[in-house]
Each structure stands twice: as C-alpha cells, then as structure tokens.
Structure 1
Amino acid sequence: MVSNPFDKVREAGAERLAGRITPSEIPHVQVGTNIAAGIEHEQAQALNQALRAAGMEDKTLHHDQQARQRLLLGVADAISNQNFRGWWFEEVAPRWFDNAEQAEQLVGLDGEEWRERIRAWHAEAHGRGLVETPLSDAGPADLAETAANVAENRFGVPLSVLVSRVINWDQGAETRRLLAGNIDHHNRLIRQLAEHIKRLQERIEQQNERIQELENQA
C-alpha cells in the first residue's frame, strides 16, 4: 500500500500542535479543575462539621480551593509536556523533602547502585568525623545506620519514605496521589469518625446498662 505523503505532514503538524497546547489555558480544563477542587472543598467543609460535632477537632481539614485548582492544572500541564517528573521534584517534592534536587538523583537506582551510594555516604561521613567506623570495616548495620541518618538529616524523611517515594519513584503512583490524595484522606477520616462514633455508642450503652442495674437494685 502506497503511503500518502500528506499523512506525514498532518502527523508532524499534529505533533507540533500538541507540543504547543497548554491544558491550563484551555477553558474546559479550567472549568473542570475548578469543579473538582470545589467538590473537594465542599466535602472537606462537611467533614469538618462532622468531626467537630464528634469532638475530633484535631482532625479538621484545611482546604484551599484555589491552590488545589492550581495544583491540578500543574499536573495537567506537566503530563502534557511530558515533564511530570521534573515538575514533581520542583513543585511537589519540596513540600515533603529537603534538598529535593539532590533527591531526584536517586530515582531509579538499582540494588547495586543504591548500595554503592550508601557506601559513598558512609565514606563521606567518616571523612567528616561523623562516624567512627571506616568504610573498610563497616558492616551492614553501620551502612544501614548511615543511610537512615542521611535520609533524616539531608532529606528530612525516614529512610523508608526515601526509598518508596524517591528511589522507587513511580509516575503513576504519584499522579494518583496528587489527583485522588484528598479524597483518599477524606475516606480515611470518615472511617475514623465512624469508629469514634461506634465507641461512643458502646460507652453510652454501657452507661445505660449500669444505670439500669442501679435502678433495679434500688
């Protein structure tokens, strides 16, 4: 089958057009993200009322609808520009990690590369007098302690978080966390609220039973 030369022209034009499209500038996208952020805001307000009524004020939520919409638009632009990882480490990671730019260098390290990085950290720490054991004598426990210290002191997170959120960084997981994270958090609070109410009901029933026993004894 002879290919149509105009097909390639159209494909090239479509690719160039896609590269110029910025989702955050499209009215329908702006409206959609505003609606989504508004729904989350209303849900948070309703949940806050329920939490206060149940005496769980410490669990109440702060929801900035405009900031939420800006974040959703940022996600759309980053995905469209095929720069989600760079955007994530620039805009999102600093909320959770210190030295996010350094943290990005750890993404995707395989097992051997990760072990070598920890060994380099240990050698550095020993050179600065932060650990007594030289690298040549360092055992697994020494290296694990060094990795934990670097995670806490350099990146501001536990080692488990550094491994799961940075070394094993996954665009799909982080995209879902950004898009559905608020709803997931609301659902967890609803379950906690239900458990709290259940415990209150059980205590009330126990008190009523005790009152009934006292009345029967009178």
Structure 2
Amino acid sequence: MRNPLSAAKEQMTEATGAQMFDQFRPQMQALSQVVAERERAQLQLAQRLAEASDADISVDELPDAEERAAQLETMAERASQADLVGWYFGEFVPDHLDNPDRAQAYADLNDDEWQAQKQSWAENYRSTSPEAEAYSDDELAALHVENTFGVPLDEFEANVVDFRPGEAIQDVLTTNLRTVEAVMTAVAEDMEGSA
C-alpha cells in the first residue's frame, strides 16, 4: 500500500512546480523559441557544409522550429512538475514502440527486477507451448518484446528498462547539437584526409 504522506508530498511538489512554471511561462516560451530557431539554423548550416564537402554524411531531418520549441517547453513544464517519466512515455516513446503505456511499467527496473520479468515471460510461454522449452529466457523475452512492443529486446532495454530521467533530458536537449557535431567531425575528417 502506498504511503498517503508520500502521495501528498508528491502532489504538493507537482502543484508547486506547476505554479512556478506558470509564473515563468512567457520567459520559458521565449527561451524555447530562441533555442529552437538557433538549432534549426545550425542544422541548416551543417547540411550546407556536408553538401559542400565530399563527406558521406547529411542532416536527416530539419525540425520545425515551432514544434521543437513546443517540445522543449513541454519537457521543461513536466520537469517542473516532477513528471519526466510521464513526459517521456507520453511524448517520445509512442514514436518508437507500440503500447507505450504498457512499456512504462518496465521503466527504470533494476537488474534483478528485469531478469525476473524476463523469466516470468519465458515461463508463461513455456506453460502454453511445449516448443518454448527449447529456448532461453532471453530468447523468449525477445519474442515477447518484439510481439508486444514492436522493437528488438536490446532497443527496449536501452529505451525503456534503462530509462533515466536525467539522461532523457540531456538526450532531448542535445540531439540537434550532436547532429551538428557529427557533420562537423565527418567534414573535418574528410578535409584532413584529402590534405
């Protein structure tokens, strides 16, 4: 049973965070817009640089500045409410796997919990299908994850089981910067190699 005092404390933290965010919403919107516009400009320049070189690299996608600004603002708002897990599984996971609501239950499991979960799935398969006896727990867990969530087991582990809120924020904040860095690195290596 959940401690009522802990639940009340969580609600108070969320409410306080939401109030603070609302107080600074105009500044956050402006900041998000500036960051999104600068990211897009950098990505456009990185694409020009890639096209002007012989490097085998390109910018896969130029994000819409308005959409990116909204994404950054939503992330900041959910962070202020201590709801990064909800934000991550509501905003990002649906684009990458099936049944994100079910997947959220496996977020941030420790190694023992994750091994127990894979064993449980394997036992369920073995209890309904004698052929499953020939497969390891990991093989049956991989089958289950692929059928339920539409992704390979290693991808599910990386994006769900190993989910850490701080790392998720860093990934979202730096994704476009990493793309620019990758282009710059590839072009520099190409230029250095031809010199």
The one-letter code sitting in structure 1 at the alignment partner of 2:38 is: I
Structure 2: runs of 5+ lacking an equivalent = 1-13
> How many residues in Structure 1 have an aligned counterpart in Structure 2?
182
- For the aligned residue pairs, the C-alpha RMSD in angstroms reads 2.7
Equivalent residue for 2:10? none
- Work out which structure has the larger RCO, using CA pairs closer than 8 Å and 6 or more positions apart in sequence: 2
Tell whether 2:151 aligns with 1:157.
Answer: yes
Equivalent residue for 2:121? 121
Equivalent residue for 1:7? none
Superposition deviation, residue 56 in structure 1: 5.5
Structure 1: runs of 5+ lacking an equivalent = 1-14, 203-218
The answer to whether the 8 Å contact 2:103/2:160 transfers is: yes
* Cα displacement string for residues 17-56 of structure 1 (whole angstroms, at most 9, x for unaligned residues): 6543445972211111111111101001111111122255
Equivalent residue for 2:9? none
| Distance change >3 Å, CA 73–CA 42, structure 1 → 2 | same
Superposition deviation, residue 128 in structure 1: 5.3
The answer to whether the 8 Å contact 1:24/1:77 transfers is: no
TM-score, normalised to structure 1's length? Answer: 0.72
Q: Quick one: distance in 1 between partners of 2:171 and 2:181?
A: 14
Q: Quick one: distance in 2 between partners of 1:133 and 1:17?
A: 51
* Cα displacement string for residues 110-156 of structure 1 (whole angstroms, at most 9, x for unaligned residues): 33322221122223334554x7133xxx6xx6112122223333223
The answer to whether the 8 Å contact 2:56/2:186 transfers is: no
Worse-superposed segment, 174-183 or 147-156 = 147-156
Superposition deviation, residue 97 in structure 1: 2.1
Q: Quick one: distance in 2 between partners of 1:87 and 1:147?
A: 26
Equivalent residue for 1:3? none
Q: Quick one: distance in 1 between partners of 2:162 and 2:16?
A: 33
Q: Quick one: distance in 2 between partners of 1:183 and 1:144?
A: 36
The answer to whether the 8 Å contact 2:142/2:153 transfers is: yes
Q: Which has the larger radius of gyration?
A: 1
TM-score, normalised to structure 2's length? Answer: 0.79
Matched residue SS, 1:105: helix
Counting only pairs closer than 5 Å after superposition, residues 46-195 of structure 1 correspond to structure 2 as 46-55=45-54, 59-60=58-59, 61-127=61-127, 129=129, 132-134=131-133, 142-195=136-189
Identical columns (%): 24
